[in-house]
Structure 1
Amino acid sequence: MTLPPGLLITAPASGTGKTTVMLGLLRALADDGLTVQPFKSGPDYIDPAFHRAAAGRASFNLDSWAMAPDLLSTIAAQAEGADIAVAEGSMGLYDGVATQGLTGFGSSAETAKRMGWPVVLVLDVGGQAQSAAATALGFRAYDPDLPFAGVILNRVASPRHERLIRRGMEQAGLPVLGVLPRRGDLALPERHLGLIQAVEHPDLDAAIAGYATFLRDHVDLATIRSAAGATEQPAPGTLPGPPAQRIALAQDAAFSFTYPHLLEGWHAAGAQILPFSPLADEAPDPDADLVWLPGGYPELHAGRLAAASQFLIGLKAHAETRPVHGECGGYMALGDVLIDKDGTRHAMAGLLGLVTSYERRKFHLGYRRAILEAPMPGLAPGTALRGHEFHYSTILDQPDAPLAQVFDADGTPVPETGSRRGHVTGTFFHLIAGETK
């Protein structure tokens, strides 16, 4: 197997314009006739859908905290047949957790080093001149073994501003791969969890086309392409298998977050994915072996979900004899009540006793390690899992038996243990992978 060369787009911190650069670069390279394989470093639920819209090819997460070496290699192999791989980092280049996971601490730098991909550092240079070079130099020098392609300067105010910054970069010996003028219309819409979902963007294709034009006008695409480094060749492996043969999967604006490598693994193993939309009041396929409700934004659609009688009837009928599982937003929808940000109570499926509130907001963010105390679809008690939790809801009542012992990345127990009742299970963490011995 021969994999294409790759790059990783990164930044000193979130909010620098990294995603805009990533989407514009993906589309510009695709418009040049290249087959581009996108990736996301770290546990992000939203960006891969934007990547797919930009590149026309499914994007996959690579996570050095949650994934074993063979799984990382197998996911990297999804780039087979592409001309170039482009990954987007999470947070800042070196940001991770304190305690090492299956292969690392979860930083984008670890992904770049493992895959052999030079990093392109996107710098927001607003309010800086020559000092921007000191920032970039620090990021290059912090790990001398990390391949470094150069910098893209973002939000440059004027030609004079550009000259001053370039002078600093030349003194530091740092290649400038592009200079992006400040433009307020390039920001992607956001909400409390970050970007809105790709399916919610009012005109996503036009927006990405605009980013591509902007990148093409201000970035040296040829130099960026030539800076791509050879990708580490993967060892043979398989993606995680399906939890059932026929899986009814909720898919709409309320339920959309499932890791792409899991879906790819389910398909590759021959499972049938049977999509349905609770928001359209569609019931799950009555012949499904399993109903899976992914994460998403049920709190934004709670009234419609509460009124979706055919969905609720079909879901409850399935749960009488066969398994149902929900992750985060899906977990909340399986519960008794969801209280929205205005304090309105919405009756959910009632298959679990969970009561959650967005009126009492509390931020939950981080990696999770779970040891199952009871089975969940496709997994036996005692199985150790790796996942990630990211939501703002508060548990007001969780009367059912816990599904798992759950810990954060440093091994500290967390109270969001998941729930089980009959054939129904749910977790606040999104499953990434099982631990391998």
Structure 2
Amino acid sequence: MPASLVISAPASGVGKTTLTLALARAWRQRGLNVQCFKSGPDYIDPAFHAAATERASVNVDSWAMDRGTIAHLVSRAVDADVVLAEGSMGLFDGVAARGVSGTGATADIAEMLGWPVVLVIDPSGQAQTAAAIAAGLRDYRAGVRLAGVVLNRVASPRHEDLVRRALVDAGIAVFGALPRHAEISMPKRHLGLVQAEERAEIGQLIDEAARFVAEHVDLDAVLRSAARWLPQPAANGLIVAPPGQRIALARDAAFSFVYPHMLEAWRAAGAEISTFSPLADEVPDASADVCWLPGGYPELHAGRLAANARFRNGLRAFAETRPVHGECGGYMVLGAALTDADGVRHEMTGLLGLETSFAKRRMHLGYRLAELAAPMPGHQPGARLRGHEFHYSTIVAQPDAPLAVVHDAAGAVMAETGSRRGHATGTFFHLIAEDR
């Protein structure tokens, strides 16, 4: 039975991803099969997990997914020796209103699956107070069990000793303490971590993190604290309809934000996926019956996309007879124009009238529940779709008919309704699951 743990923290930016990757690679180097998951709507970390473990990682999300879907997803760990679920934000951070099976908090997954939590604590600027924080997290919710703590960015041996003593006095196990070590920090970008495929040296970076963590953390003690858990395959599996039988999927550095479980669900339903690169001026497969443009970083490549006439003309020709759908960055590229951070306006494909701008950045972040007013690939009018929005663009114009009535997690109506025109549809949110 796999030894299963959740890696969490009091807040974002403490070192969850680095510790998860380091533990996964260190145990992989010991000959163990490691399966990772990501709690919450993050489409970047699973690619890093896969690089560290050589196994595909998927998201589990208590706001968007029911228990059956989560059980189906985690059942892939049946042949693993170790399971690590990396949390998002702080351990108990979620939305105010409950979703399908929870609020989206990492604690929901820990309690639902019975996996104990390893906390990453950054005691910078404090000492014994770190123990009070850990004790508060331990006692906040009865169904969530704390396995122990890994300290990160410890300033000195004296600093470590003060924090360790306080944690031990509070009855909390300390698995290790990591001194400051900038070389293993992951690079940042405006939407979070840089994508794994953008870092040629990612393997070396993870190896160094694994060596560093193995030197300072008791890996055997961490394993002993894990829950022995037997995955139970779920009968109902995933219910996420593919957008078509043959799907042309844009896939390159500008279009890479798609949840792995979505692609798996499409393939499991019998769909065939072919990829093409708009950045390489490629066009959708002529034999496809639908084209899907996921999110990514089109604003960083807007000039190149605008210059790629073969791609733009080919997509327009495809949309004359078949559906084309864009999510977030893909939606922006389906629009009339995109203004980059320098204020330069670039013509996009014009399949929709949407105009967006990054000249004045404004963050749009949160869960979304959309009720379709019109069909989009794979879903009929009236369908309720759960997703997540995260971007920094502003809407300059959104003249087309709305695709959906969109609410945030608290029920407030959102201006980002998506658009539809002819065979083209688009949304700012990334689809996670269909509401059942």
- Shorter-chain TM range is over 0.9
CA contact (8 A) 1:341 1:359 kept: yes
Partner of residue 61 from structure 1, selected from 59, 66, 81: 59
Pairing 1:5-404 to 2, within 5 Å after superposition: 5-231=3-229, 233-239=232-238, 240-404=240-404
- Taking every aligned residue pair, what percent have the same amino acid on both sides? 61
Q: Does 1:415 align with 2:415?
A: yes
Aligned counterparts of 1:352 and 1:63: Cα–Cα separation in 2: 31
State which drifts further: 293-302 or 226-235: 226-235
Query: When the two structures are superposed, what TM-score results if normalisation uses the length of structure 2?
Result: 0.98
AA of the residue aligned to 1:260:
P
Aligned counterparts of 1:371 and 1:199: Cα–Cα separation in 2: 34
Q: Secondary structure at the match of 2:228?
A: coil
Q: Deviations over 1:162-186 (max 9, x none)?
A: 1111110111010001111111222
AA of the residue aligned to 2:342:
D
Q: Deviations over 1:153-212 (max 9, x none)?
A: 111111111111111011101000111111122211112111111121241111111111
Aligned counterparts of 2:191 and 2:20: Cα–Cα separation in 1: 19
Q: How well do the aligned residues superpose, as a CA RMSD in angstroms?
A: 1.1
Aligned counterparts of 2:23 and 2:3: Cα–Cα separation in 1: 15
Segments of structure 2 that go 5 or more residues without pairing to the other structure are: none
Aligned counterparts of 2:237 and 2:141: Cα–Cα separation in 1: 32
Q: Name the residue aligned to 2:425.
A: 425
Aligned counterparts of 1:48 and 1:61: Cα–Cα separation in 2: 7
Deviation at 1:270, TM superposition (A): 2.0
Q: Secondary structure at the match of 1:380?
A: coil
AA of the residue aligned to 1:270:
G
Aligned counterparts of 2:233 and 2:99: Cα–Cα separation in 1: 20
Aligned counterparts of 1:184 and 1:35: Cα–Cα separation in 2: 28
Q: Deviations over 1:224-263 (max 9, x none)?
A: 1122213363432222232211101011110001111111
Q: Deviations over 1:299-346 (max 9, x none)?
A: 000011111122112211110000000000000000000000001010
CA contact (8 A) 2:64 2:433 kept: yes
Q: Deviations over 1:369-406 (max 9, x none)?
A: 00000000010000001000000000000110000000
Q: Secondary structure at the match of 1:74?
A: helix
CA contact (8 A) 1:238 1:265 kept: no
Q: Secondary structure at the match of 2:432?
A: strand
CA contact (8 A) 2:7 2:84 kept: yes
Q: Deviations over 1:128-152 (max 9, x none)?
A: 2222111111110111321211000
State which drifts further: 239-248 or 81-90: 239-248
Q: Secondary structure at the match of 1:25?
A: helix
CA contact (8 A) 1:99 1:105 kept: yes
AA of the residue aligned to 1:406:
V
Q: Secondary structure at the match of 1:80?
A: helix
AA of the residue aligned to 1:150:
G
Aligned counterparts of 1:145 and 1:291: Cα–Cα separation in 2: 44
CA contact (8 A) 1:286 1:314 kept: no
Aligned counterparts of 2:414 and 2:39: Cα–Cα separation in 1: 25
Q: Deviations over 1:271-320 (max 9, x none)?
A: 11101111111111011011100000000000111111221122111100
Q: Name the residue aligned to 1:405.
A: 405
Aligned counterparts of 2:234 and 2:275: Cα–Cα separation in 1: 32
Q: Secondary structure at the match of 1:414?
A: coil
AA of the residue aligned to 2:284:
P
Aligned counterparts of 2:73 and 2:406: Cα–Cα separation in 1: 26
CA contact (8 A) 1:358 1:392 kept: yes
CA contact (8 A) 1:12 1:91 kept: yes
Aligned counterparts of 2:303 and 2:200: Cα–Cα separation in 1: 22
Query: When the two structures are superposed, what TM-score results if normalisation uses the length of structure 1?
Result: 0.97
CA contact (8 A) 1:116 1:230 kept: no
AA of the residue aligned to 2:374:
A
Deviation at 1:415, TM superposition (A): 0.2
Aligned counterparts of 2:81 and 2:268: Cα–Cα separation in 1: 23
Q: How many residues align?
A: 434
